[in-house]
Amino acid sequence: MINVASLKVDGKACLGVRVELPDSPPLLLVIAEKGFVMCGFLNVDAAERLGVAAAVVSGVRSFEDVLNAQVKAATSKARSQGVEAGMKGAEALKHMF
Protein backbone atom coordinates (compact mmCIF):
# COMPACT_ATOMS: atom_id res chain seq x y z
CA MET A 1 0.00 0.00 0.00
CA ILE A 2 1.16 3.54 -0.75
CA ASN A 3 0.09 6.47 1.44
CA VAL A 4 0.55 10.06 0.29
CA ALA A 5 -0.14 12.83 2.79
CA SER A 6 0.13 16.59 2.99
CA LEU A 7 2.30 17.61 5.94
CA LYS A 8 3.11 21.00 7.48
CA VAL A 9 6.63 21.91 8.58
CA ASP A 10 7.03 25.39 10.01
CA GLY A 11 3.69 26.31 8.41
CA LYS A 12 4.81 25.23 4.94
CA ALA A 13 3.44 22.31 2.94
CA CYS A 14 5.43 19.14 2.36
CA LEU A 15 4.44 15.89 0.71
CA GLY A 16 4.84 12.69 2.68
CA VAL A 17 5.12 9.34 0.88
CA ARG A 18 4.95 6.04 2.77
CA VAL A 19 5.29 2.70 1.00
CA GLU A 20 4.43 -0.45 2.92
CA LEU A 21 6.84 -3.27 2.08
CA PRO A 22 6.50 -6.99 2.82
CA ASP A 23 8.40 -8.23 5.89
CA SER A 24 10.04 -4.83 6.32
CA PRO A 25 9.67 -1.39 7.84
CA PRO A 26 8.05 1.12 5.46
CA LEU A 27 9.89 3.27 2.95
CA LEU A 28 9.39 6.92 3.94
CA LEU A 29 10.05 10.18 2.13
CA VAL A 30 9.11 13.78 3.01
CA ILE A 31 9.45 16.20 0.11
CA ALA A 32 9.88 19.98 0.36
CA GLU A 33 10.21 22.53 -2.44
CA LYS A 34 14.01 22.23 -2.87
CA GLY A 35 14.83 18.81 -1.46
CA PHE A 36 13.71 15.88 0.63
CA VAL A 37 14.37 13.80 3.72
CA MET A 38 14.41 10.07 3.12
CA CYS A 39 14.67 6.92 5.18
CA GLY A 40 17.69 4.64 4.98
CA PHE A 41 16.09 2.50 2.25
CA LEU A 42 17.01 5.20 -0.24
CA ASN A 43 20.62 5.71 -1.26
CA VAL A 44 22.39 8.96 -0.38
CA ASP A 45 25.23 8.18 -2.81
CA ALA A 46 22.77 7.92 -5.69
CA ALA A 47 21.15 11.19 -4.58
CA GLU A 48 24.62 12.81 -4.55
CA ARG A 49 25.36 11.58 -8.08
CA LEU A 50 22.02 12.99 -9.24
CA GLY A 51 22.84 16.37 -7.69
CA VAL A 52 19.73 16.62 -5.51
CA ALA A 53 19.32 18.03 -2.01
CA ALA A 54 18.61 15.02 0.19
CA ALA A 55 19.07 14.06 3.82
CA VAL A 56 18.89 10.58 5.35
CA VAL A 57 17.31 9.54 8.64
CA SER A 58 17.08 5.98 9.94
CA GLY A 59 14.99 3.87 12.28
CA VAL A 60 11.77 5.58 11.20
CA ARG A 61 8.30 4.09 10.79
CA SER A 62 6.08 7.18 10.42
CA PHE A 63 6.15 10.72 9.04
CA GLU A 64 6.40 11.97 12.64
CA ASP A 65 9.48 9.78 13.10
CA VAL A 66 11.08 11.29 9.95
CA LEU A 67 10.50 14.80 11.27
CA ASN A 68 11.95 13.97 14.71
CA ALA A 69 14.85 11.70 13.71
CA GLN A 70 18.40 12.98 13.48
CA VAL A 71 19.89 13.43 10.04
CA LYS A 72 22.63 10.83 9.54
CA ALA A 73 23.94 12.08 6.17
CA ALA A 74 23.19 14.73 3.57
CA THR A 75 24.20 15.38 -0.01
CA SER A 76 26.53 18.28 -0.82
CA LYS A 77 23.59 20.21 -2.29
CA ALA A 78 21.62 19.79 0.96
CA ARG A 79 24.67 20.84 2.98
CA SER A 80 24.99 23.97 0.80
CA GLN A 81 21.40 24.81 1.83
CA GLY A 82 22.36 24.56 5.52
CA VAL A 83 21.44 20.94 6.27
CA GLU A 84 23.82 19.27 8.73
CA ALA A 85 24.15 15.80 10.23
CA GLY A 86 22.66 15.74 13.71
CA MET A 87 19.80 18.17 13.05
CA LYS A 88 16.26 16.81 13.12
CA GLY A 89 14.46 15.95 9.89
CA ALA A 90 12.02 18.86 10.34
CA GLU A 91 14.90 21.31 10.71
CA ALA A 92 16.53 19.92 7.55
CA LEU A 93 13.26 20.39 5.65
CA LYS A 94 13.09 24.04 6.77
CA HIS A 95 16.32 24.58 4.85
CA MET A 96 14.75 22.98 1.75
CA PHE A 97 11.92 25.49 1.18
Instruction: Write the CATH number of the domain with boundaries 2-94.
Output: 3.30.1980.10
Would the pTM of this model clear 0.75, i.e. be above it? Answer: yes
- Nearest by Cα to 78 from 45, 34, 16: 34
Q: Mean pLDDT across the stretch 9-15? A: 96
Q: What is the band of 47 on the pLDDT scale with cuts at 50, 70, 90?
A: very high
Could you tell me what percent of the chain has a pLDDT over 90?
Answer: 100
CA atoms 2, 43, 68, 89: torsion sign = negative
Q: What is the band of 31 on the pLDDT scale with cuts at 50, 70, 90?
A: very high
Domain boundaries, the chain: 2-94
pLDDT tens digit sequence for 61-75: 999 999 999 999 999
